[in-house]
Structure 1
Amino acid sequence: MSRVSARRRLGRTLVCLGAFLIVCGSPMASSAEPNKQPNILFIFSDDHAYQSISAYNDPRKLIETPNIDRIAKEGMRFDRCVVPNSICGPSRATVLTGKYSHANGFYNNSGSRFDGSQTTVAKLLKGAGYQTAVVGKWHLVTEPTGFDYWHILPGQGVYYNPPMIDNGTQVKHEGYATDIITDLTIDWLKKRDKSKPFLMMSQNKAPHREWAPALRHLGHDNDRAYPEPSTLFDDYSGRGKAEHDQDMTIAKTMTARDLKLEAPPQLTPDQRKVWDAYYEPRNQAFAKADLKGDDLVRWKYNRYMHDYLACIKAVDENVGRLLKYLEEEGLADNTIVVYAADQGFYLGEHGWFDKRWIFEESLRTPLVVRWPGVTKPGSVNTDLVSNLDFAETFLEAAGQPVPAEMQGKSLVPLFKGRTPEDWRKSFYYHYYEYPGPHSVRRHYGVVTDRYKLVHFYGPDIDEWELFDLKEDPQEMRSVHGQADYAKVQEELEQELARLRKELKVTDQDPPESIIRPAAPEAAKKKAAAKKKAAFEKGVPR
């Protein structure tokens, strides 16, 4: 055989081998295919404060979350993810629709019902060939639409032995809600049609109030005395009526159930034994100590931190289980993993728990994303992003058009390390639920990288506040009306007006049937007297 013939034969062999590798995939190459629609695993928690994710480096070092941190380490951490309405149901409606509360019709947790006939990211992805599923907390009153499979908690759900609704059928599970939600998530992933990409929304109840831990995590902190936030005993001077009139303080608002001075009724006898073995000796010591004033607040804060952070431990463990499943099934390289919460949460800052405010701990939510080959490992983004952007992001990642009616922006360019020149520099916020739980006044405002202008409004309040986050990062003092801030205030007022016009926000709030009506005065006074009497005994109800 001539050398020329040998070369030709070798060339043909290499061409055939190359074609084989292209068709079948090289064993040396990543299993991710650049043109293949990615799977999307959206892990969503309820009231998970960014301060309690160790990747966010809170100076109190409250807890280690190695599995959530891993998503950030292998992907991107977002440091300025904000929400348009800091409360559970409205945030979930925003994630599904890519729209503000006034546009999707879900304003609050009290009177709103989600209109399942409207366009959602689940419906659009399903139409594009995705399998879609939601498991866990739903909290939108009406049944899910646009999902091939749904298995949800009714209402807020409970932590122990939770009833759930499996595609319309009521069922009851035994165990801890966070573990059960992950079990169901993995079970569906195993049984899905593996020829199609998937959108799985795995949504935890935890760490929502009343912060009930998995029994295996009781005593996880060895009775640690937690570092206090510097504003734990805030007296709200330098601010207005809204901050003074709220009802969400650790000092006065927490109930016996919150503080584990009463056991939840859902426990089985065996579970109750474990519960009592941990809490009863500590509750007896608390009663004997007869704490008052600041000492009582400190005790409540530490009990709150034990319970809340124990819930986080279970969430983090289950995030680890999901990541492990993706790896074992060869899905990790072509799956976008998103971990987020429906809003931020107070962990004692300003003496508060809960959320609702335009202020930082409430407004800002954690967001970490891993998309192999797209997000740079260990990268950090500081752009102003939002859960308003999630639907648009999932659609672009799947190669689908984004409907004009959606009001957010796709985060895909940011995932790739490129911030578009026209990226937002300001963000509109609007909270509606008053009267209602915690008595946080209705308010709207504009948020920038440095400033917040907020308007508290209602029949008995018409107050404006302005905060300079650079000079006052803890938002302790409004500078509204001060001469030094006159130009900034004017610019923010103009920007707020522009945003309201662009977003088509009307001056008229929705009907009182949607915004919870006020309780009768007699009932309000009776409830207040009961709470005051219980608080004075050291056992708030």
Structure 2
Amino acid sequence: MTIAGVRRKAPLWLATAALAAGLAGCSGDSGGGAPDTGRESPSASAQRTDSAQSTNIVWVLTDDLSSDLVNYMPHVKAMQKSGMSFTNYTVTDSLCCPSRSSIFTGKFPHNTGVFTNMPPDGGFETFHEKGNEDKTFATALQQQGYRTAMMGKYLNGYQPDMTVNGKKNYVPPGWNEWDVAGNGYKEYDYTLNQNGKTVDYGHDPADYLTDVVSAKGQEFIENSAKAKKPFMLDISTFAPHGPATPAPEDRDAFQDLPLPKPPAFDKTPTDAPQWLKDKKAFTPQQITKITKTYRKRVRAVQAVDRMIGDLQEKLKKSGVYDNTVFAFASDNGFHMGQYRLMPGKQTAFDTDVNVPLVVTGPGVEQGATTKAVASNIDICPTFTELGGGKPDPATDGRSLVPLLHGETPEDWPQTALVEHHGPNTSPQDPDKPGKGSGNPPSYEALRTDRYTYVEYKNGSHEYYDRGKDPDMLHNVYAQLPSDTKKNLASALLKLQGCKGSEECTAAARTD
């Protein structure tokens, strides 16, 4: 692989100088960021306030976690009681790389250029070549004097031993601490890029990846607190993405856990699109396979939940818990038998695009739930504002800080946009759909707090009135008045062409 001078090599046990941040991130402030060396630049040091005065941020992002798994995560359920849950949080695509690109930058796929997991329209290579790494929440926070750490999974196609633009063991701009794996899905036998050095891990219990990044995250919190510096920790787990390997202590858990069978299980919607309409009822063998997959996923999130509890405990012992915003989410959802689909993602159904987002911390309403429309493009401007910066108007999203404080601005967006390029046929893609799991063609979708509208490139459409049909089992597009169809198409066209928070907010209004 080459990326403007990017090439893969065998692991190199050599430290390298990390790249300078250079640009302001998704902050609107101008000027250079702190260099990516683990040391503060003079400008960042001058801007920095100590951790007792600045809001720290811990961001736990899971991979393929669907809402039904939260029932088996007691620490996340405790977060729901002590913080705010977003019931209408939508991802820009139910696919790892485009979703994560939107999180980092605050931009829709049509503005990041990342629609899939691999080139030519996706993956780390595209994210890098489009210049997205120069403006992320990491560069924004680092410019505000924050210590920043990225641990776990970055973007599909990134490898710890990469050479990018002549820099070995590439570390992107904006990060002071970098402990990132390439192919860590199996949780064992992986390589980490640890601040410019490749370190191989094996198959011992102590090498379990979720536990490794948990320990590193706790150490980062402790060191940042001791240094009295504000910090931002991003721990992105590979769990519960397949093969959903559990931690050693969870291997024998949930052996008899029954498979949930919600109303959409083993059913297709009326007037389903062509790619879905001919699905046949499950065989007993298929249901057995889905059940086994579900149990594996429940086992896999146990370590993630323990990690959340351990991180919270470390924050408390370090004396910074009360001054830390702690957020939990997933990059996309996952269907488990709904719509007669074997386990998978990439559809516009709520199983795949409506994922958990729970936030706790100072000023956040406790035990609150908001139905306001939110999206993963809102994460970057939110973190930027929490860090004392001004969100860049060039980002498409809006800061969620007003919502966290119980206020919904009058001009708040009412529509989320989903953009998907398909079908996915790349054999190298870890997210290539398995047999019968669903592999829709390209589509664009609107999701409000009450309906979902899908427009496929091949000309077919879906419309689900979720107020009346929460399980999305009745496609009523054909029954809509012609004016409504025209208005939906027009609204979608505006959103899929918008750029910047002002224009995208206006396009996301339905009134």
TM-score by length of 1: 0.72
Counterpart secondary structure, 1:301 = helix
Residue in 1 that maps onto 2:453: 453
| Partners of 2:263 and 2:278 in 1: CA distance | 21
The structural deviation recorded for 1:81 is 0.4
Is 1:150 equivalent to 2:178 in the alignment? yes
Equivalent residue, structure 1, for 2:263? 230
**Map of 1:91-110 to 2, 5 A cutoff?**
91-110=99-118
Please state whether the residue corresponding to 1:349 is helix, strand or coil: coil
Match of 1:53 in 2: 70
Whichever residue aligns with residue 181 of structure 1, its letter is V
Larger helix share, 1 or 2: 1
State the alpha-carbon separation in 2 of the partners of residues 52 and 423 from structure 1: 30
Cα distance in 2 between the residues matched to 1:473 and 1:401: 37
One of 336, 342, 349 as aligned partner of 1:347: 336
- Residue 350 of structure 1 aligns to a residue whose secondary structure is coil
Identity in percent: 27
SS at structure 2 position matched to 1:220: coil
Does 2:399 align with 1:410? yes
> Residues of 2 paired with 1:398 and 1:421: CA distance?
24
Task: Please say if residues 100 and 331 of structure 2, whose CA atoms lie closer than 8 Å, have aligned partners that are also in contact.
Answer: yes
Paired letter, 2:331: D
- 1:467 maps to a residue whose letter is Y
| Residue pairs, 1:419-430, within 5 angstroms | 419-430=408-419
Residue 139 of structure 2 corresponds to which residue in structure 1? Answer: 123
1:189 partner SS: helix
Q: Does 1:493 align with 2:509?
A: no
Q: Is the alpha carbon distance of 1:39 and 1:238 closer, same or farther for their aligned partners in structure 2, counting shifts above 3 Å?
A: same
Residue 236 of structure 1: CA displacement? Answer: 5.2
CA RMSD of aligned residues (A): 2.3
What does 1:166-205 align with in structure 2 at a 5 Å threshold? 166-173=194-201, 174=204, 175-192=207-224, 194-205=227-238
Larger Rg: 1
- Whether the 8 Å CA contact 1:466–1:489 is kept in 2: the answer is no
What's 1:210 paired with? 243
For residues 383 and 470 of structure 1, what CA distance do their matches in structure 2 show?
Answer: 15
398 and 501 in structure 1: CA distance in 2 versus 1, 3 angstrom threshold: same
Structure 1: any 5+ residue segments left out of the alignment?
A: 1-31, 55-62, 252-292, 505-541
- The answer to whether the Cα contact below 8 Å between 1:93 and 1:140 also exists between their aligned partners in 2 is no
Contact 2:58 2:232 in 1 (8 A): yes
Q: Distance in 2 between matches of 1:435 and 1:158?
A: 22
Q: Does 1:469 align with 2:466?
A: yes
What's the CA shift for 1:241? Answer: 1.2
Contact 1:137/1:157, CA 8 A, preserved across alignment? no
Counterpart of 2:161 in structure 1 is none
Given the alignment, which residue of 57, 82, 93 partners 1:40?
A: 57
Q: Is the CA contact (8 Å cut-off) linking 2:55 and 2:230 kept in structure 1?
A: yes
TM-score (structure 2 length as normaliser): 0.77
The answer to whether the Cα contact below 8 Å between 2:150 and 2:178 also exists between their aligned partners in 1 is: yes
**AA paired with 2:192?**
M
- What is residue 359 of structure 2 aligned with on the other side? 369
Write the distance in 2 (CA, Å) between the matches of 1:354 and 1:92: 18
Shift of the alpha carbon at 1:243? 2.1
Distance 1:471 1:486, change over 3 A: farther
TM superposition shift of 1:487: 4.4
What is the rounded CA distance, in whole Å, between the counterparts of 1:83 and 1:394 in structure 2?
A: 17
Q: Distance in 2 between matches of 1:72 and 1:318?
A: 16
SS at match of 1:42: strand
> Is contact 1:453–1:493 with CA below 8 Å preserved after alignment?
no
**Structure 1 pair 435/297, CA: closer, same or farther in 2 (3 Å)?**
closer
Preserved contact between residue 453 and residue 489 of structure 1 (Cα < 8 Å): no
Q: 1:292-371 counterparts in 2 under 5 A?
A: 294-352=283-341, 353-371=343-361
> How far did residue 67 of structure 1 move?
0.6
- More deviation, 488-497/193-202: 488-497
Q: How many Å separate the matches in 1 of 2:268 and 2:487?
A: 30
Distance 1:228 1:478 in 2: 21
| 1:405-425 superposed Cα distances (whole Å, 9 cap, x missing partner) | 100000000011000000111
Mapped partners of 1:202, 1:382: distance in 2: 26
Give the Cα–Cα distance (whole angstroms) in 2 for the partners of residues 33 and 149 of structure 1.
Answer: 18
Provide the C-alpha distance between the structure 2 equivalents of 1:215 and 1:117, rounded to a whole number of angstroms. 36
Contact 1:83 1:364 in 2 (8 A): yes
Measured against aligned partners, the alpha-carbon deviations of 1:316-374 in whole angstroms (never above 9, x if no partner) come to 111111111111111101111001111111132223322211211111111000112x0
For residues 251 and 187 of structure 2, the distance between their equivalents in structure 1, rounded to whole angstroms, comes to 14
